Structure 1
Amino acid sequence: MSDPSILVIASVAESIKIARDFARGWLEAEGVERAAVGVALLVVSELVTNAYRHGSAPGEMISVRLYLSDAGPVVEVRDSGDSEPRPRPLTPDSFTGRGLAIVAELTAAWGFHRLASGGKAVYAVLNGARHGAP
């Protein structure tokens, strides 16, 4: 596992784009294939949006951590919320609340753990082939 690259942002709507831009730069620097970068950015957007909408109060800090694991690139989003993230079923008539179900479909694995300092970390192992990888 590599040391994480960490971005700390405020819980405001504009931070979602900042997190995506941060992730894009990291993924490209790590040699993740272009098609996988697009999917990874959707995952980052969903996790940061959930932290902003459900896991933190306005202006509180959210952290985004990106690192390489043996299983692949990992994105981890930390917030101060105590609620357990749960995916809702994907249905044709639902317009909101599908973010974690989408994350589950697009990643190798996802989950969360509670932090000793309070709050939680939601993570996703990305399906990101690296250039030159077997």
Structure 2
Amino acid sequence: MLVAERSAPRTVRHWVMRAVAEAGVGGVSNQVVELLTGELVSNAVVHGPDGGSIHVRVRIDRADVRVEVTDEGGGAPKAGHPEPTAPSGRGLALVEALSSDWGTRAVPGGKTVWFEVHGEAD
């Protein structure tokens, strides 16, 4: 668990990347997991309550990686497709485009947003 604050995305990215690298997942899959993890945690910080809790779970099965980010915010996030000049709103569109699968589910006291990346081990 960590607190929803500005440093959370970087902290979680580093933790997830160590776990993924130790499991032998590399190359493009590794980079996609890093990018998408940062997007989900950033969304949890921005759209969850100030100072709320964020929980991150990583599951690695050979080269397949699943990351789940749970926060105390409500709603069901959807991928948006903002205008090119819009300052934000592209995070879940990236998750949708780059992950093998993704989704959301309501949990007691908040929501979980997850993605999976199916790749090749080094």
Extract structure 1 runs of 4+ deviating beyond 3 A: none
Determine the C-alpha separation between the residues in 1 that align with 2:61 and 2:73.
Answer: 25
Q: What percentage of aligned pairs have identical amino acids? A: 30
1:130 to partner: Cα distance: 1.6
Q: TM-score, normalised by structure 1?
A: 0.84
Contact 1:90 1:101 in 2 (8 A): no
Note the 1:1-134 alignment, pairs <5 A: 8-54=1-47, 56-68=48-60, 72-89=64-81, 91-115=83-107, 117-131=108-122
Q: Helix, strand or coil for the counterpart of 1:84?
A: coil
| CA deviation vs aligned residue, 1:68-113 (integer Å, no higher than 9, x gap) | 3599210000001111101111543333101000110010011011
Q: How many residues align?
A: 122
Q: Which runs of 5+ in 1 are unaligned?
A: 1-7
Q: Which amino acid aligns with 1:32?
A: V
Determine the C-alpha separation between the residues in 1 that align with 2:11 and 2:96.
Answer: 23
| CA deviation vs aligned residue, 1:27-60 (integer Å, no higher than 9, x gap) | 1011111322111111000000000001x22221
Q: Which runs of 5+ in 2 are unaligned?
A: none
